[in-house]
Amino acid sequence: MSFGRRLSAATQAYGPLCVGLDPHASVLEAWGVGDTFEGLERFAEVCVEAFAGQVGVVKPQSAFFERFGSRGVAVLEWLLQQFRHTGTLTVLDVKRGDIGSTAQAYAEAYLDDDAPMAADAVTVSPFLGFGSLAPFFTEAERNDAGVFVLALTSNPEGPQFQHAVGADGRTVAGSVLQQLAELNSGELSSTGSGAGALGSFGAVVGATIGDTAEDLAIHGPLLVPGLGAQGGTVEDLKRLFGDVWGQVVPSSSRGVLRAGPDPAALRASAQQVNDQLVSS
């Protein structure tokens, strides 16, 4: 089953929310587990207990694990493995982007189903050119995995590149979105998927970008970080993504994680956000 189909099934079963698993120092301290390797281990254990089989998608941010060195990466590897086959999909937030054999190695590291750090999907950067991402798309197709490409991010520096206009008159972001739409159309056509089906190749679009004239109908998922603590509201999302609301996977990290470390409280926090997203 393709990633797009698996994502649709997961969000229909548990709601559209993606919970960001960011063991930021402030989160670990607020949980009372300490900004230490032992605190990171406890964070991972609690997140698995709270969210596995309870939410549709989780998005661990690799950097917050990597800062603890090889032991932190081992915890991330353990966490990814614990979520496998629970019904909860993992999007590994690493924002990789390179060329040739290096891009291929990154793709195999995160998307090969037999890899120790295999995730259901990965985030990538198109800065070296959309074509440089081909190994990720190929590896994703081979393993029924997904790829989310940075397109319209909320950081203030983003527009310098994303809004730049090429010789064809399209913005860089618009070009990325169009090429994702073409990839998804090809995938859905080859599998005979019906109208409304979701492709496996998504875009990252920030919840707090304000307005955009870009065409977000890419026939694939839109991963939307920034809901909650970063300032994005459900009303913002509805306004920005009204025509493509069915493609949106809103992501919240600190807004949900502040309820920890009690697993039941974390589940309730995620459910509350999901209820708001579904009922709005």
pLDDT digits (tens, 9 = 90+) for 153-184: 999 999 999 999 999 999 999 999 999 999 99
Average pLDDT rounded to a whole number, residues 206-235: 91
Q: Examine the pLDDT at 229 and tell me if it is beyond 80.
A: no
Which residue has better confidence, 88 or 232?
88
Q: What percent of the chain has pLDDT over 90?
A: 92
Q: How much is the pLDDT for 280?
A: 65
- Whole-model pTM? 0.97
Q: Residue 140 and residue 110: Cα distance in Å, rounded? A: 9
Joined together, the tokens standing for residue 176 give: 């990325």
* pLDDT tens for each residue of 94-125: 999 999 999 999 999 999 999 999 999 999 99
Per the prediction, the chain carries an average pLDDT of: 96
The single residue of 24, 42, 95, 96 carrying the catalytic annotation is: 95
Residues whose CB falls within 8 Å of the CB of residue 146, separated by 6 or more in sequence, listed in order: 3, 4, 7, 91, 120, 121, 122, 140, 200, 201, 202, 221
**Domain architecture of the chain: domains with CATH:** 3-274 (3.20.20.70)
> 21-31: per-residue pLDDT in tens?
999 999 999 99
Q: What is the DSSP string of the chain?
A: --HHHHHHHHHHHH-S-EEEE---HHHHHHHTS-SSHHHHHHHHHHHHHHHTTTSSEEEEBHHHHHTTTHHHHHHHHHHHHHHTTSS-EEEEEEEE---HHHHHHHHHHHH-TTSTT--SEEEE--TT-GGGGHHHHHHHHHHT-EEEEEEE-SSTTTHHHHT-B-TTS-BHHHHHHHHHHHHHHHHHHHHT--TT---SEEEEE-TTS----S----SS-EEEE-BSTTSB-HHHHHHHHGGGGGGEEEEESHHHHTTTT-HHHHHHHHHHHHHHHHH-
When mean pLDDT is compared over 57-61, 196-200, 227-231, 234-238, the highest value belongs to: 57-61
Phi/psi at 70 (5° precision): -60, -35
What backbone torsions phi and psi does residue 61 show, to the nearest 5 degrees?
A: -90, 110
Average pLDDT estimate for 244-252: 96
For residues 201 and 275, give the distance between their C-alpha atoms in angstroms, rounded to a whole number. 26
- 59 classed as catalytic: no
Bridge-partner residues for 21, per DSSP? 60
Locate 82 and state its tokens.
């614990």
189-210 pLDDT tens trace: 998 887 789 999 999 999 989 8
pLDDT at res. 196: 81
pLDDT at 3: 98
Q: Residue 193 has what pLDDT?
A: 83
The Cα 107–Cα 135 span in angstroms is 6
Round to whole Å and give the CA distance between 129 and 142.
22
Q: What is the mean pLDDT of residues 62-86?
A: 98
